[in-house]
């Protein structure tokens, strides 16, 4: 049993399976059967070098440097790779870590979790459940009601601002410019 496993066993009073250390940051993610799949060539064209490094090579951006670290607008955060809905702005909080932090996901199956033993420590890695993109890590030091802190790289996220729901008056004004009989054609 490694010193880490022994220390974890003593401090957490929970059994830890003995395993080899995980791969350090910078190595490519494992290939699995995800619902959404992109070629490496397509991702390199579409993503910035930092987005590719974080999402595909399990990298980490510098603290306090990411686009969404201090972001306070209302809306939703999606996976930069596949567009899957991950987090809402209502669950974002300032953890002081320098990375965007959320206390909950949009739905429980939006984010996959797996053990990460890289760098001689145990963490829970988070990734997009649709495409496998590395997002960040999950910690148990967040605020209520969940006590969770999803510490997420800005480079793995896109943001969609909250849009106003059109009023009935606005809808009827839009329809006045349509040809007669085509009011329902706006689907």
Structural domain contains residue 21: yes
pLDDT for position 172: 44
pLDDT for position 23: 40
Question: Which is the catalytic residue, given 82, 128, 131, 151?
Answer: 151
Structural domain contains residue 180: no
Task: Convert the chain into a string of H (helix), E (strand) and C (coil).
Answer: CCHHHHHHHHHHCCCCCCCCCCCCCCCCCCCCCCCCCCCHHHHHHHCCHHHHHHHHHCCCCCCCCCCCCCCCCCEEEEECCCCCEEEEHHHEECCCCCCCEECCCCCCCCEEEEEECHHHCCEEEEEECCCCCEEEEEECCCCCCCCCEEEECHHHEEEEECCCCCCHHHHHHHHCCCCCCCHHHCC
Tokens representing 90?
Answer: 């209502």
pLDDT for position 169: 45
pLDDT for position 167: 47
Give per-residue pLDDT as tens, 175-184: 444 444 444 4
Would you call 151 a catalytic residue per the annotation?
yes
Structural domain contains residue 82: yes
Q: For position 147, which CATH number holds?
A: 2.170.150.20
Structural domain contains residue 182: no
pLDDT for position 163: 81
Structural domain contains residue 81: yes
Domain total in the chain: 1
The low-confidence residues of the chain, meaning pLDDT below 50, are 1-10, 13-29, 164-187
Q: How many residues comprise the chain?
A: 187
Give the global pTM.
0.72
Structural domain contains residue 105: yes
pLDDT for position 12: 52
Distance in Å from the first CA to the final CA of the chain: 61
Structural domain contains residue 170: no
Structural domain contains residue 67: yes
pLDDT for position 53: 98
Residue span of the structural domain in which 127 resides: 3-163
């Amino acid at each position: 049993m490694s010193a880490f496993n022994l220390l974890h066993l003593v401090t957490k009073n929970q059994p830890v399976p003995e395993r080899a250390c995980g791969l350090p940051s910078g190595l490519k993610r494992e290939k699995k059967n995800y619902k959404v799949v992109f070629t490496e060539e397509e991702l390199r064209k579409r993503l910035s070098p930092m987005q590719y490094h974080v999402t595909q090579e399990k990298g980490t951006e510098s603290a306090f440097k990411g686009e969404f670290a201090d972001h306070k607008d209302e809306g939703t955060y999606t996976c930069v790779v596949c567009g899957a809905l991950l987090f809402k702005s209502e669950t974002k909080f300032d953890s002081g870590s320098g990375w965007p932090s959320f206390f909950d996901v949009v739905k429980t199956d939006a984010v996959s979790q797996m053990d990460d033993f890289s760098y001689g420590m145990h963490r829970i890695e988070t990734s997009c459940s649709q495409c496998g993109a590395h997002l960040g890590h999950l910690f148990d030091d967040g605020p209520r009601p969940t006590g969770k802190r999803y510490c997420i790289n800005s480079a793995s996220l896109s943001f969609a601002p909250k849009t106003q729901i059109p009023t009935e008056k606005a809808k009827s004004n839009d329809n006045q410019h349509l040809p007669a009989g085509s009011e329902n054609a706006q689907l």
